Structure 1
Amino acid sequence: MFSPEDPNGMKILMAGLIKRAVIDVQRAFQIREEKPPLQQLVNKGTVGEDLLDKLVHAEQELDAEINEVRTRALASGERSESSVLPSGASLSERQIFCERSEHHIKAGRTRATPLIPSSLSHPASLFRPLTHARTF
């Protein structure tokens, strides 16, 4: 186990927290993209509410994971908490941009469709707690 007092230990800890934040941000984007269509399907009666319940449960787990990352970042230093999640969002945005750019190049497309989803235009909105009562 690495100690936060050790400079190398702090770098490893921060790298791990940022990696967790990137994964959490990607999951948040996925849930926010999938929830409205799923709610429409449930309202139409096409699919059962159990699928929506599973998505809400995943949303709650993600909220707990984001809070845990925040708590661990806060425990590692006062500047860390304010930089881990924004760094994760930035890296996630860059990764999505690169993947979509590569896909467009392989498909021989011009830039007719946006490379970055509109939900990424304001990544700060990802840092508010996710709740099952909120609609996106």
Structure 2
Amino acid sequence: MASVLIPVLYVLIVFGSLLVFSYFYRRRNARKVYEPYFPPHHERDVYFSLMQMTDPPAPETLLKAALVRRAMTDVTRIIRLREDKPALQNLLQKGSIGDDLWNSLLAAEKEMEAEILEVAAEANAYVEGWGSVIFQTATEMMHNEKMRTLIEQIPSIRAEAERKYGKSALPKLSVESAPPAPSNPQPAAAPSTPSTSARPETPSSAKSTNGLAPPSARVDAGNISDSDRSVSTPSSPRSPSKSSSSKKSKKRK
């Protein structure tokens, strides 16, 4: 009987001591303040300072710009947390780092979750539905700033490489410029169309001989349209044979 009670009592003492140790350890860790994983959020402080301005109040455009800048900093920190967490977890399992750094990362994750919800609520307060796209806009602006910074650093990087390796070792970059566009481009020539305003040439058969055209035709010649000219036919002069025969008939009478 005594041989059975001794192992049972030993197990109870061991598990009881572990439970007591874990209880006090958790209470100690709960009251312990860990070193922050990220530096102070300067953009968030600037946004709160602008919100508290009352004389005069900050314009809405300035508040929106400050909120976008705050979201850009949040995106940067979220990306860093996603990259650092797997590596720190492996190092913690191997015993290379202590629990303080891991707990600091977990506290930073909880803080970022609350920060994301707060930024989305602030964005929806300005424009309805803006909270769902503000982080996407902040990500695009962050990539744009990185690209612009890299382009601005190209001359200094090239100068450093020339100083280190020599100018002849670097490839020469030649950019062909496009031909300049003409200042006053000439419009394309329109296809030639027959002129309708040109007056048709009068055929030789339609011309009056010896000035014997009727007086009405001479007076209204300027008022006749081109279509009337092409349709109407000129009056032919009277035949001389008819005039001579009429004279002979008058003499006989």
TM-score by length of 1: 0.64
**Structure 2 matches for 1:92-111, cutoff 5 A?**
92-99=142-149, 102=153, 106=157
* Alignment partners' CA distance in 2, 1:86 and 1:51: 30
2:120 to 40, 63, 70: 70
What amino acid is aligned across from residue 67 of structure 1 in structure 2?
A: L
**Residue 79 (structure 2) pairs with residue 25 (structure 1):** no
* Alignment partners' CA distance in 1, 2:147 and 2:89: 28
What amino acid is aligned across from residue 31 of structure 1 in structure 2?
A: L
Indicate how the Cα distance of structure 1 residues 29 and 45 shifts in structure 2: closer, same or farther if over 3 A, else same.
same
Indicate how the Cα distance of structure 1 residues 99 and 71 shifts in structure 2: closer, same or farther if over 3 A, else same.
same
* Alignment partners' CA distance in 1, 2:75 and 2:148: 16
What amino acid is aligned across from residue 107 of structure 2 in structure 1?
A: H
Higher helix fraction (1 or 2): 1
* Alignment partners' CA distance in 2, 1:41 and 1:49: 11
TM-score by length of 2: 0.36
Q: Among all aligned residue pairs of Structure 1 and Structure 2, give the percentage whose two residues are the same amino acid.
A: 33
What amino acid is aligned across from residue 136 of structure 2 in structure 1?
A: P
Indicate how the Cα distance of structure 1 residues 100 and 34 shifts in structure 2: closer, same or farther if over 3 A, else same.
farther
2:93 to 17, 40, 43: 43
Q: Per-residue CA shift, 1:46-79, capped at 9, x if unaligned?
A: 1112211101101111111111100111111204
Q: Per-residue CA shift, 1:8-45, capped at 9, x if unaligned?
A: 82211210110000000011111111111111110111
* Alignment partners' CA distance in 2, 1:41 and 1:62: 23
* Alignment partners' CA distance in 2, 1:44 and 1:32: 20
The RMSD of aligned alpha carbons is 2.7
**Residue 63 (structure 2) pairs with residue 13 (structure 1):** yes
Structure 1 residue 93: Cα displacement: 2.0
Structure 1 residue 98: Cα displacement: 4.0
- Between structure 1 and structure 2, the one with the greater Rg is 2
Indicate how the Cα distance of structure 1 residues 73 and 23 shifts in structure 2: closer, same or farther if over 3 A, else same.
same
* Alignment partners' CA distance in 1, 2:94 and 2:150: 32
Indicate how the Cα distance of structure 1 residues 70 and 50 shifts in structure 2: closer, same or farther if over 3 A, else same.
same
Indicate how the Cα distance of structure 1 residues 21 and 42 shifts in structure 2: closer, same or farther if over 3 A, else same.
same
What amino acid is aligned across from residue 78 of structure 2 in structure 1?
A: A
* Alignment partners' CA distance in 2, 1:54 and 1:20: 21
Greater relative contact order (Cα 8 A, min sep 6): structure 1 or 2?
A: 1
* Alignment partners' CA distance in 1, 2:148 and 2:84: 22
What amino acid is aligned across from residue 76 of structure 2 in structure 1?
A: Q
* Unaligned runs of at least 5 residues, structure 1: 109-136
- Which residue is equivalent to 2:132? 82
**Residue 102 (structure 2) pairs with residue 52 (structure 1):** yes
What amino acid is aligned across from residue 121 of structure 2 in structure 1?
A: T
What amino acid is aligned across from residue 106 of structure 2 in structure 1?
A: V
- Which residue is equivalent to 1:133? none
